[in-house]
Structure 1
Amino acid sequence: MKRLLVLLIVLLIPSSVFAEGQGVTQLMTELVVQLGIILFAARLGGRFFKKIGLPGVLGEMIAGILIGPFLLGSIPIPGFPHGIFALHQGDIPVTVELYGFSTIASVILLFLAGLETDINMFLRYSLKGSLIGIGGLTIPFILGDLTAVWLMNVDFMDPPALFLGVISMATSVGISARILSEKKKMDSPEGVTILAAAVIDDVLGIIFLAIVVGIAESITKGHGGLSWSHIGIITAKAFGVWLGFSALGLLFSKRISKFLKSFNSIPAFSVLSLGMALVLAGVFEHAGLAMIIGAYVMGLSLSKTDISYVIQENLFGLHEFFVPIFFTVMGMLVNVKSLMAPQVLIVGLVYSAGSVLGKVIGCGLPSLGLGFNKKGALRIGFGMIPRGEVSLIIAGIGLSSGYLSPDLFGIAVIMTLISVLVAPSLFEKALAIPGIGTHKEAKGTDTVITEYDLPSPEVGEFLVTKLISSLEHEGFFIHMMELGTRVYQLRKDDIFCTLEVDKNQLRFITAREDLAFIKTLIYESLIDMNNIMKEVKNLAKPDEMRKELATEAHNRGDFHIHDYLDQEDVELDLKSNTKDDIIGELVNILYNSGKIPESEEAIAAVFEREASMSTGMQNGVAIPHGRSSGIDTVKVAIGVKKGGIPFDSIDGKPSNIFLLLISPKDAPGPHLKVLSSISAALNKEEVRQGILTAQSRSDLLSIIDQGIKDKK
Structure 2
Amino acid sequence: MALAAAPVAVIPAPHLLTFLLQLGLLLGLATVLGRLAARFGLPALLGELCAGILVGPSLLANVAPDVSAWLLPQDPARFHLIDAVGQLGVLLLVGLTGMHVDAGFIRRQGRTAAWISGAGLVVPLALGVGIGFLAPHEMIADGVDPLVFALFLGIALCVSAIPVIAKILMEMRLLHRDIGQLILSTAVIDDVVGWFLLSVVSVLATAGARTGQAAATAVALLAAFVLVALVLGRRTVAAVLRLADRAEGSRTTIAAVTVMFLLSAAATHALGFEAILGAFVCGALIGSSPDLKVAKLAPLQTFVAAVLAPIFFATAGLRMDLTELANPAVLVAGIVVLAVAVAGKFAGAYLGARIARRSRWEALALGAGLNSRGVIEVIIAMVGLRLGVLTTASYTVIVLVAVVTSMMAPPLLRLAASRIAPNDDEAVREKFFDALQTTPGGELVTTAKET
Give TM-score, length-normalised by structure 2.
0.85
Flag the 1:136–1:312 CA change in 2: closer, same or farther, 3 A.
farther
Q: Structure 2 regions of 5+ residues with no counterpart?
A: 1-9
Residue number among 48, 59, 62 corresponding to 2:47 in the alignment: 59
Kindly provide the amino acid, as one letter, of the partner of residue 177 in structure 1: A
Secondary structure of 2:135 counterpart:
helix
Q: Retained in 1: the 8 A contact 2:221–2:271?
A: no
Q: Retained in 2: the 8 A contact 1:60–1:324?
A: yes
Residue number among 174, 177, 181 corresponding to 1:188 in the alignment: 177
Instruction: Check if 1:226 corresponds to 2:214.
Output: no
Residue number among 77, 82, 85 corresponding to 2:69 in the alignment: 82
Render the CA deviation track for 1:504-525: whole Å, top value 9, x for unaligned.
xxxxxxxxxxxxxxxxxxxxxx
Q: Which has the higher contact order (CA 8 A, sep 6+)?
A: 2
Render the CA deviation track for 1:636-667: whole Å, top value 9, x for unaligned.
xxxxxxxxxxxxxxxxxxxxxxxxxxxxxxxx
Q: Retained in 1: the 8 A contact 2:294–2:446?
A: yes
Aligned-pair CA distance for 1:43: 1.4
Secondary structure of 2:99 counterpart:
helix
Q: Retained in 2: the 8 A contact 1:115–1:299?
A: yes
Distance 1:434 1:149 in 2: 40
Secondary structure of 2:175 counterpart:
coil
Instruction: Find the counterpart in structure 2 of residue 295 from structure 1.
Output: 279
Instruction: Find the counterpart in structure 1 of residue 239 from structure 2.
Output: 255
Q: Structure 1 regions of 5+ residues with no counterpart?
A: 1-21, 437-441, 453-477, 499-712
**What pairs with 1:286-685 in structure 2 (closer than 5 Å)?**
286-304=270-288, 305-315=290-300, 316-433=302-419, 435=421, 480-481=437-438
Render the CA deviation track for 1:474-500: whole Å, top value 9, x for unaligned.
xxxx984479xxx99699xxxx978xx
Q: Retained in 2: the 8 A contact 1:133–1:197?
A: yes
Instruction: Find the counterpart in structure 1 of residue 4 from structure 2.
Output: none
Instruction: Find the counterpart in structure 2 of residue 694 from structure 1.
Output: none
Kindly provide the amino acid, as one letter, of the partner of residue 53 in structure 1: G
Q: Retained in 1: the 8 A contact 2:30–2:48?
A: yes
Q: Retained in 2: the 8 A contact 1:47–1:56?
A: yes
Instruction: Find the counterpart in structure 2 of residue 584 from structure 1.
Output: none
Residue number among 5, 28, 38 corresponding to 1:40 in the alignment: 28
Aligned-pair CA distance for 1:286: 1.0
Render the CA deviation track for 1:91-134: whole Å, top value 9, x for unaligned.
x9x81111111111110111110122223212322432233222
Aligned-pair CA distance for 1:56: 1.6
Flag the 1:398–1:482 CA change in 2: closer, same or farther, 3 A.
closer
Instruction: Check if 1:101 corresponds to 2:85.
Output: yes
Distance 1:296 1:59 in 2: 25
Kindly provide the amino acid, as one letter, of the partner of residue 49 in structure 2: M
Q: Which has the higher helix share?
A: 2
Deviates more, 1:426-435 or 1:411-420: 426-435
Kindly provide the amino acid, as one letter, of the partner of residue 428 in structure 1: R
Aligned-pair CA distance for 1:191: 1.6
Render the CA deviation track for 1:564-591: whole Å, top value 9, x for unaligned.
xxxxxxxxxxxxxxxxxxxxxxxxxxxx
Distance 2:447 2:314 in 1: 34
Aligned-pair CA distance for 1:258: 0.8
Flag the 1:134–1:32 CA change in 2: closer, same or farther, 3 A.
same
Flag the 1:361–1:66 CA change in 2: closer, same or farther, 3 A.
same
Q: Retained in 2: the 8 A contact 1:158–1:216?
A: no
Instruction: Find the counterpart in structure 2 of residue 111 from structure 1.
Output: 95
Secondary structure of 1:225 counterpart:
coil
Instruction: Find the counterpart in structure 1 of residue 196 from structure 2.
Output: 207
Instruction: Find the counterpart in structure 2 of residue 522 from structure 1.
Output: none
Q: Retained in 2: the 8 A contact 1:140–1:355?
A: yes
Q: Retained in 2: the 8 A contact 1:115–1:308?
A: no
Render the CA deviation track for 1:249-291: whole Å, top value 9, x for unaligned.
3344432311222333312221221122111111111111111
Q: Retained in 2: the 8 A contact 1:179–1:428?
A: no
Aligned-pair CA distance for 1:49: 1.7
Flag the 1:291–1:199 CA change in 2: closer, same or farther, 3 A.
same
Q: Retained in 1: the 8 A contact 2:98–2:282?
A: yes
Secondary structure of 1:404 counterpart:
coil
Aligned-pair CA distance for 1:405: 1.0
Aligned-pair CA distance for 1:306: 4.3
The number of residue pairs the alignment matches comes to: 429
Aligned-pair CA distance for 1:46: 1.2
Distance 2:332 2:201 in 1: 25
RMSD: 3.2
Distance 1:258 1:69 in 2: 48
Q: Retained in 2: the 8 A contact 1:108–1:319?
A: no
Aligned-pair CA distance for 1:76: 5.3
Which of 1 and 2 has greater Rg? Answer: 1
Aligned-pair CA distance for 1:193: 1.3
**What pairs with 1:115-126 in structure 2 (closer than 5 Å)?**
115-126=99-110
Give identity over the alignment, percent. Answer: 25
Flag the 1:47–1:188 CA change in 2: closer, same or farther, 3 A.
closer
Distance 2:430 2:313 in 1: 41
Q: Which has the higher strand share?
A: 1
Instruction: Find the counterpart in structure 2 of residue 169 from structure 1.
Output: 158
